[in-house]
Amino acid sequence: MKKIYKGRVTEVKQAATDLYYIKISAANFSANAGQFISVLCDNCTLRRPFSVMDCENGVITILFKLKGKGTNYIKNLKEGDDIDFSGPFGNGFSLTDKRSLIIGAGVGVAPVLFLKKEFDKKGVESRIIGGFLNKDAIPANINLDMISTDDGSLGKKGSIVNFLKDEIKNYAPYRIYACGPSIVLEKICETASQYGIQTQIAMEKEMACSIGVCRGCAITLKNGKNATVCKDGPVFSGEDIKW
Amino acid sequence: MVDLSVNLNGLILKNPILTASGTYGYADEYDDFLSVKNIGAIVTKAISLEPRSGNTGRRIMETDAGMINSIGLENMGIKAFLENVLPKLEEERISYIVNIAGATFDEYIELGKICENSRIRAIELNLSCPNVHAGCLEFGTDEGSLYSLVNAVRNVYSGKLIAKLTPNVTDITKIAIAAQNAGADLISAINTVKASGVRISYVRGKFYQERINGGLSGMGIKPVALRAVSSISEAVNIPIIGMGGISSLNDIFEFISVGADAFQIGTANFTHPTIAEDLVNQLAEFIEYNGFASYEELKNKIREDIKNE
Ligand SMILES: Cc1cc2nc3c(=O)[nH]c(=O)nc-3n(C[C@H](O)[C@H](O)[C@H](O)COP(=O)(O)OP(=O)(O)OC[C@H]3O[C@@H](n4cnc5c(N)ncnc54)[C@H](O)[C@@H]3O)c2cc1C
Ligand SMILES: Cc1cc2nc3c(=O)[nH]c(=O)nc-3n(C[C@H](O)[C@H](O)[C@H](O)COP(=O)(O)O)c2cc1C
Ligand code: FES
């Protein structure tokens, strides 16, 4: 059930340039891949939404990128500090039992790493690939089946979308899951649809309430209807999105 | 249990803490966090005659001490509300007030009639809506058009009529007097403050602007709201529901001191989803701990002490 949790910070650790992990212990909290929590930050009117990257035995991991007031507040938290967050929010990914390709771009790898773990637990075959700016932008201690960097400093050189066609041909996935910048998601959906492959993508939008009431995060779908990223999403079928 | 009840010109509520339109959905959306039925009343999201899909593009932006919204009154329309939501409100015994928004004069009257026929106990007229027949000027910015509008709704609606005022006017006392003369039972204030949110970034030698024009709410508007409520209370004798940046018991005392009789909590619900019920409990505890008999007694005490200062 959605509620406010008073968690305890167990670790804040740098993961890459401007990227950090925070681990929060919060009894009884559980979430599915693709769901998010909203963190209360000092001197901020609005809570900050973050995807759950892992959640096991009452410990939540978040991977976050430094941006402004809120993420700097979180970065400066210390082990043992209290952290107020609410959740879990959103629909999360829906898993298939068929072979899937999972793509994370930048900090967008966070929710899809959780998804990969869920696939592995279910014993469903999947392949996870990630695209980053350069080698310094790759979070430490993550396992990916293929990496690309824009400058070629690690893995293949170029945007991850450039390798998508080959990935599809070689791996022949039934479905593609992705999270990352909007422009990357758009290209992934475009390519996937050329091959007739379904997509599930996790979107981002500025949020106020996180529960579907303020309508601040609404987007218009292809069918003309409005959907909220916080409650109807953040995971959508790529086919439904009007880019 | 302490007596927190209020009689606002005949509108009787179990306590003076309400939740503001647009921040609480239509009914029990916050029930995961608290018991919505313990709140004095929820005010629904603005409801129009026809469903509206609202504005496209950026709809919210956080500011230094609040947020700006430009939702554009996205809502399900009165028909769906009556069919799908009203039974739930009644069944769950949630105390509610329906916030209504028209695009034209006639739409407000039509909405008033529908609420009358549906025996809705109280409606709040959102007077910050652009009048499409008058150059999209807000109904609530001109005392003449506000008077005609409130009066016309008054003639078709016999429940409790609340006029919700916009702060975006030259002299809010004139507007408040017009609302009272037109037959409003209560005044609520303030709606959001007209504002622009701007973010500038400088990327690879080029400046970029992100911008939203909309209504400012939250902590930053509390001083504007206190001034407005104060002016209104000097001008009229009907009860006032104060709002604008309320997020603590002390804020409530400040609003009482300038003339508010009840309160709405808006943006603070986003930050602290349990705040409405927390404030009900804190108010009860304060009253009990300090030996007052009731909320009414506390309210009078605050006002008397200030008068004698
Ligand atoms: C469903 C969802 C999941 C997310 N998951 C992650 C994650 O796992 N890791 C991560 O690093 N980031 C994630 N984000 C983005 C993250 O919420 C923002 O980076 C963060 O709110 C920035 O806060 P700030 O105060 O540091 O930045 P500021 O720019 O100072 O924030 C100002 C305002 O804009 C909002 N905002 C700024 N950027 C974004 C954004 N990209 N998306 C939504 N709101 C934004 C803030 O919440 C705040 O209200 C997610 C966003 C959403 C909607
Ligand atoms: C996202 C959002 C949506 C709102 N929608 C409405 C609305 O539909 N009708 C209305 O009368 N006021 C609306 N308001 C204004 C609030 O009801 C309230 O008057 C204002 O936010 C000031 O209170 P606050 O500072 O506590 O938020 C909205 C405010 C916000 C933040
Ligand atoms: S953040 Fe309020 S509707 Fe999504």
Share of chain B above pLDDT 90, in %: 92
Count the domains in chain A: 3
Q: Assess whether pLDDT exceeds 90 at residue A112.
A: yes
Name residues 72-101 of chain A within 8 A of B (Cβ): 86
Non-local (6+) Cβ contacts of B13 within 8 A are B5, B6, B40, B41, B95, B262
Domain range holding B225? Answer: 6-54+71-194+215-307
User: What is the rounded average pLDDT of the residues A117-140?
Assistant: 96
Q: Is the CB of B212 under 6 A from ligand 2?
A: no
| B202 domain-assigned | no
Residue B129 binned pLDDT confidence (cut-offs 50, 70, 90): confident
Residue B283 binned pLDDT confidence (cut-offs 50, 70, 90): very high
Distance from residue B28's CA to the centre of ligand 3 (Å):
15
Q: In chain A, what residues touch B273 (CB-CB under 8 Å)?
A: 4, 86, 209, 211
Asked if A147 reaches chain B (Cβ–Cβ under 8 Å), the answer is: no
Greatest pairwise CA separation for chain B in angstroms: 66
| B249 domain-assigned | yes
The catalytically annotated residue of B4, B103, B122, B129 is B129
Mean pLDDT of chain A: 96
Non-local (6+) Cβ contacts of B195 within 8 A are B63, B68, B213, B214, B215, B216
> Is A44 in the same domain as A77?
yes
| B59 domain-assigned | no
User: What is the rounded average pLDDT of the residues B121-147?
Assistant: 84
Note whether A208 contacts B219, CB cutoff 8 Å.
Answer: no
CATH of the domain at A216: 2.10.240.10
pLDDT digits (tens, 9 = 90+) for B154-187: 999 999 999 999 999 999 999 999 999 999 999 9
Query: Which residue's CA lies nearest to atom 8 of ligand 2?
Result: B46
Residue B130, pLDDT score: 72
Q: Is the CB of A76 under 6 A from ligand 1?
A: no
Q: Assess whether pLDDT exceeds 70 at residue B59.
A: yes
Q: Is the CB of B162 under 6 A from ligand 2?
A: no
Residue A195, pLDDT score: 95
pTM of the model: 0.96
Domain range holding A60? Answer: 4-89
Question: What's the CA gap between A48 and A54, in Å, rounded?
Answer: 18
Q: Assess whether pLDDT exceeds 70 at residue A138.
A: yes
User: Whole-angstrom distance between the N-terminal and C-terminal Cα of chain B?
Assistant: 32
Residue B132 binned pLDDT confidence (cut-offs 50, 70, 90): low
Helix (H) or strand (E) holding B198: strand B193-203
Query: Across the strands, what pairs with A25?
Result: A8, A59
Contact A240, A91 (CB under 8 A): no
Using DSSP's 3-state secondary structure scheme, residue B53 falls into coil
| A64 domain-assigned | yes
Q: Is the CB of B126 under 6 A from ligand 2?
A: yes
Q: Is B129 a catalytic residue?
A: yes
Distance from residue B61's CA to the centre of ligand 2 (Å):
14
CATH of the domain at B86: 3.20.20.70
Handedness of CA A210, A212, A213, A217 (dihedral sign): positive
User: What is the rounded average pLDDT of the residues B189-213?
Assistant: 95
Count the domains in chain B: 1
Q: Assess whether pLDDT exceeds 90 at residue B136.
A: no
For the record, the structure tokens of A5 come out as: 């949790």
Asked if B156 reaches chain A (Cβ–Cβ under 8 Å), the answer is: no
Q: Which of A2, A213, A219, A236 to mutate to test the pocket of ligand 3 (most atoms within 8 A of CB)?
A: A213
User: What is the rounded average pLDDT of the residues B129-141?
Assistant: 73
| A17 domain-assigned | yes
Which of B54, B58, B270 is facing A209, going by the closest CB pair? B270
Residue A91, pLDDT score: 96
